[in-house]
Amino acid sequence: MQALVVTPGEPHSVRVAEHPVEAAESAVLVRTLEVGVCGTDREISEGIFGVAPGDERALVLGHELLGVVERDGHGFSRGDLVTATVRRSCRRCVACEEGAPDSCLTGDYSERGITRLHGFARELVAEDPAQLVPIPRALGRLGVVAEPASICARALRHARAIGNRQPWRAERALVIGAGAIGMLVTYLLRLEGLDVWTAALDPPGSPRARLVEASGARYVASRETPLEDLRDEVGGFDLVVEAAGDAQVMAATLGLLRRSGVACLLGIDPRERTVELDGPTIGLDAVLENRVLFGSVNAHREDWVAAVDGLARARERWPEALERFVTLRVPLDRFGEAFEHRGVKATLVLGETGGAR
């Protein structure tokens, strides 16, 4: 069958190639409908990330799955829409033993389409039923953003847990970055009723700005309005989420919080450099105002379930806006366009849902 494969460590080796169909006795056979493409896939394609399974040389890409169950079994019926978790247990740490590989303590986990496990960018996948997450029919093709939404759901669950260690009410949130993660966080926070400001580089009135505003959040063009000015204007934020992937911006989030505020880092910035942080912000304000800065990666199964539920509720509330989340859909052989795409989300389409939108 056809698959999108890469030779990890070899830049620009992504190609469509033949890949064998796996045996599926104790697994659920899933037909891939669509896979989302994100920064992780781009990094793998540039050779800076990714590990092939066992002694194989190639890795099948794709960790953001929307699929359809191919035949009945293991509690699933033919035609069920599903997605699947990405990270799998290292089998030897307390977090993984408790079913929380998102909190793995060894780093020896495997990840679909990223590390030591083939991904979903192929026609058929034999998947462990315990790793499948049902997608309601009503969500349809929007189920393809369940994976990035699960990252957001985990981040918000952790932010609430940290904030709620003391009496706290989150009212004002700032989201920095309006890619898929920033956009999904914006919508999930609006669902919870927070006042949300979402900042990105695009000018006011751009498609990205309009998609932010369709949720009732305010769009901030950060080239025109420095975030420190915004902080002074609104009086600081209870929650700041960095989804732009800039270490300097990440450091500065600590200074954008108000009392008991929580800043969550979701972007990635591996550039070798030193960033600046205002002395009194960390040496005084962070202490006297009980502020926290934390990072979050991956998602627990409960976050996947919460993400799918959040997407379904968001789609009911803003149906027209949610249709604009995926900004490019192309077939597998046009993967180059999806990798180049700079809109909110690009996907590779492998099959039709049959009735679902």
Q: Which residues bind Zn ion (CB under 5 A)?
A: 38, 40, 90, 93, 96, 104, 106
Distances (CA, A) of 104 to 28, 33, 159: 25, 30, 19
- Whichever of 16 and 38 has its CB closer to Zn ion, that residue is 38
**Shortest separation between residue 30's beta carbon and Zn ion, angstroms:** 18
Interatomic CA distance for residues 318 and 312, integer angstroms: 10
- Whichever of 175 and 286 has its CB closer to Zn ion, that residue is 175
Distances (CA, A) of 342 to 35, 159, 337, 339: 17, 28, 10, 8
**Shortest separation between residue 280's beta carbon and Zn ion, angstroms:** 37
**Shortest separation between residue 108's beta carbon and Zn ion, angstroms:** 6
Secondary structure of residue 56 in the 3-state scheme: coil
Task: Please give the distance of CA 208 from its chain centroid, rounded to a whole number.
Answer: 17
**Shortest separation between residue 87's beta carbon and Zn ion, angstroms:** 9
Question: Would you state the structure tokens that stand for residue 105, as one six-digit string?
Answer: 């303590």
Interatomic CA distance for residues 261 and 170, integer angstroms: 8
Nearest Cα to 37, choosing from 244, 357, 330, 353? 330
- Whichever of 90 and 312 has its CB closer to Zn ion, that residue is 90
Relative orientation angle of helices 146-163 and 301-317, to the nearest 10 degrees: 110
Nearest Cα to 344, choosing from 147, 177, 188, 146? 177
**Shortest separation between residue 100's beta carbon and Zn ion, angstroms:** 8
**Shortest separation between residue 149's beta carbon and Zn ion, angstroms:** 11
**Shortest separation between residue 83's beta carbon and Zn ion, angstroms:** 12
Q: Which helix (H) or strand (E) holds 219?
A: strand 218-221
- Whichever of 104 and 314 has its CB closer to Zn ion, that residue is 104
- Whichever of 88 and 291 has its CB closer to Zn ion, that residue is 88
Give the residues across from 139 on adjacent strands. none
Interatomic CA distance for residues 234 and 236, integer angstroms: 6
- Whichever of 215 and 347 has its CB closer to Zn ion, that residue is 347
Question: Would you state the structure tokens that stand for residue 53, as one six-digit string?
Answer: 């399974």
**Shortest separation between residue 339's beta carbon and Zn ion, angstroms:** 12
- Whichever of 106 and 248 has its CB closer to Zn ion, that residue is 106
Length of the chain: 357
Nearest Cα to 175, choosing from 249, 95, 65? 249
- Whichever of 40 and 186 has its CB closer to Zn ion, that residue is 40
Q: Which residue has the tokens 């029919």?
A: 137
Distances (CA, A) of 20 to 125, 193, 264: 10, 48, 41
Residues 6+ apart with CB under 8 A from 117: 53, 88, 110, 111
**Shortest separation between residue 86's beta carbon and Zn ion, angstroms:** 8
- Whichever of 104 and 230 has its CB closer to Zn ion, that residue is 104
